[in-house]
């Protein structure tokens, strides 16, 4: 299990690192390609659009052909699309390459999470998800630094390196035993289970904080740039936030196994809501950075319990865990698309305050709903495993 956890964590680490690398590059692309805030939002969200479209298909693939083949396909696609992203300098091609990166990320996450969840005891589900999530978020520590490096020395070398790393990880995955059994349920039953109320609610609990991060990835770099900050400050803010998330996610996952999913989720989302309210009134670089870091603190507490809740309700529906990974990807990507594109469009039309206030209100509404509906019961140990 330890070897599998290390391998799966390395794969999602790579994916998230180069997903997060876009933030310090956005001001450069805006200046060099004369992009509007809306166009910058589309570039940032193109990755999530690719993930959104392929999230459930990737979960289906993982359930049918196994997690190992799924992650290998995702790694090869990530390497090739990252090389293209590093070499092109036209906005349509950049959007397209980032879209394909999102598709590859969906395959990687679906395969990796399916591999882990199907190999772990039920009572350790939150802990395993939290560990993988924390390692992935640690990739976001490296991402902004990679973006700043790419802005300084060129995107070709930095993004081109992904191909070699992806090939090495694909080789390691090919030498690791697969896990899980193929899904045999009819598609009609799968669709009915995925559209049931418990699964839809769990999807919302992942999607709402994802809206916040989709908006932050667009609004924070542009806001800091407008206040006179540079690539370095943008990178510092995202790195500090990611460090908090990386530390807190495994802890929050373990806590949610012991006390139930509700308490850590509600606490984390409340912190996020107040952070977005502070972002709305921020008039200095330091305030923007503080709001970003506190929103990351809240996210580090709430994301692991939310993703574990999806795995719980999918298991209760007797579905393959590939669909849990697919639903998690879909929820995350939906929020990223809505927050990234919507936040950019609203900010372009009304300024930076309006999207921040709207997201803060959405977060608080979700807090009240989660308080009523999320289970506060600790996860019971599985029998006979």
Q: In the chain, helix, strand, coil percent, each to 5?
A: 85, 0, 15
pLDDT at residue 321, as a whole number: 78
pTM of the full structure: 0.77
Task: Tell me which residue of 5, 222, 48 sits closest to 134, measured CA to CA.
Answer: 5
176 domain residue, yes or no: yes
In whole angstroms, what is the distance from residue 180 CA to residue 186 CA? 18
| 266-298 tens-digit pLDDT | 999 999 999 999 988 888 888 999 999 999 999
Residue 382 pLDDT: 46
Distance CA(385)–CA(328), nearest Å, equals: 25
Assess if residue 385 is contained within a domain.
no
Q: Has residue 328 been placed in a domain?
A: yes
* Closest among 122, 125, 56 to 304, alpha carbons compared: 125
DSSP per position, 276-330: HHHHHH--SHHHHHHHHHHHHHHHHHHHHHHHHHHHHHHHHTT--HHHHHHHHHH
In a domain, 383, yes or no: no
Query: Could you tell me if residue 382 is inside a domain?
Result: no
Q: Vertex 247, ends 243 and 253: CA angle to 5°?
A: 135
Is residue 129 domain-resident? yes
State in Å, rounded, how far the first CA of the chain is from the last one.
14
Residue 384 covered by a domain: no
Convert 350-379 to b/e letters by CB count within 10 Å (16 or more is b): eebeebbebbbebbbebbeebeeebeeeeb
User: 318 phi and psi, to 5 degrees?
Assistant: 65, 35
- CB count in 10 Å sphere of residue 123: 15
d(CA 43, CA 183): 36
**Per-residue confidence (pLDDT) for residue 266, from 0 to 100:** 96
- 125-150, pLDDT tens digit by residue? 778 888 888 888 788 778 878 888 88
Residue 242 confidence (pLDDT): 82
Task: Give the CA distances from residue 167 to residues 71, 75, 104, 246, in Å, rounded to whole numbers and listed in that order.
Answer: 11, 7, 14, 25
Q: Which domain holds residue 367?
A: 2-373
381 in a domain, yes or no? no
Q: Give the pLDDT score at 384.
A: 36
Contacts with 128 (C-beta within 8 Å, 6 or more apart), sequence order: 5, 116, 117, 120, 253
Helix, strand, or coil (residue 246): helix
**Domain CATH number, residue 185:** 1.20.1250.20
Q: For a pLDDT cut of 90, what percent of the chain falls above it?
A: 35
Do the beta carbons of residue 55 and residue 96 sit within 8 Å? no
Structural domains in the chain (count):
1
The answer, yes or no, to whether residue 184 has pLDDT greater than 70, is no
pLDDT band at 381 (very low <50, low <70, confident <90, very high): low
The pLDDT tens digits for 321-340 are 788 888 888 888 888 888 88
| Average pLDDT over all residues of the chain | 86
């Amino acid at each position: 299990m330890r070897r599998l956890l290390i391998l799966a964590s390395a794969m999602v680490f790579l994916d998230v690192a180069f997903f997060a690398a876009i933030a310090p590059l956005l001001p450069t692309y805006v200046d060099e390609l004369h992009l509007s805030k809306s166009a910058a939002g589309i570039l940032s969200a193109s990755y999530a659009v690719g993930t959104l479209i392929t999230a459930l298909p990737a979960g289906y693939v993982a359930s049918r052909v196994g997690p190992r083949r799924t992650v290998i396909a995702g790694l090869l696609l990530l390497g090739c699309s990252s090389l293209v992203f590093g070499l092109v300098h036209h906005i349509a091609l950049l959007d397209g390459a980032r879209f394909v990166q999102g598709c590859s990320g969906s395959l990687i996450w679906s395969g990796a999470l399916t591999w882990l969840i199907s190999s772990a005891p039920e009572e350790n589900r939150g802990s395993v998800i939290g560990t993988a999530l924390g390692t992935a978020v640690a990739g976001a520590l490296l991402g902004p630094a990679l973006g700043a490096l790419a802005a300084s020395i060129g995107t070709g070398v930095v993004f081109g390196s992904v191909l070699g790393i992806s090939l090495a990880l694909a080789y390691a995955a090919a030498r690791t035993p697969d896990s899980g059994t193929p899904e045999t349920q009819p598609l009609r039953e799968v669709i009915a289970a995925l559209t049931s109320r418990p699964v839809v609610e769990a999807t919302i609990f992942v999607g709402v904080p994802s809206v916040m991060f989709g908006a932050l990835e667009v609004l924070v770099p542009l806001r800091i740039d407008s206040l006179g900050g540079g690539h370095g400050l943008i990178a510092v803010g995202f790195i500090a936030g990611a460090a908090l998330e990386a530390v807190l996610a495994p802890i929050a996952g373990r806590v949610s196994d012991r006390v139930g999913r509700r308490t850590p989720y509600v606490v984390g989302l409340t912190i996020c809501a107040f952070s977005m309210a502070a972002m709305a009134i921020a008039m200095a670089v330091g305030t923007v950075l503080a709001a970003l870091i506190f929103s990351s603190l809240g996210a580090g507490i709430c994301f692991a319990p939310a993703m574990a809740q999806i795995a719980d309700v999918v298991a209760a529906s007797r579905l393959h865990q590939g669909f849990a990974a697919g639903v998690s990807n879909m929820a995350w990507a939906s929020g990223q698309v809505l927050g990234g594109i919507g936040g950019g469009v609203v900010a372009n039309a009304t300024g930076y305050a309006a999207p921040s206030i709207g997201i803060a209100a959405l977060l608080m509404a979700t807090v009240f709903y989660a308080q009523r509906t999320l289970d506060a019961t600790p996860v019971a140990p599985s029998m006979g495993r």
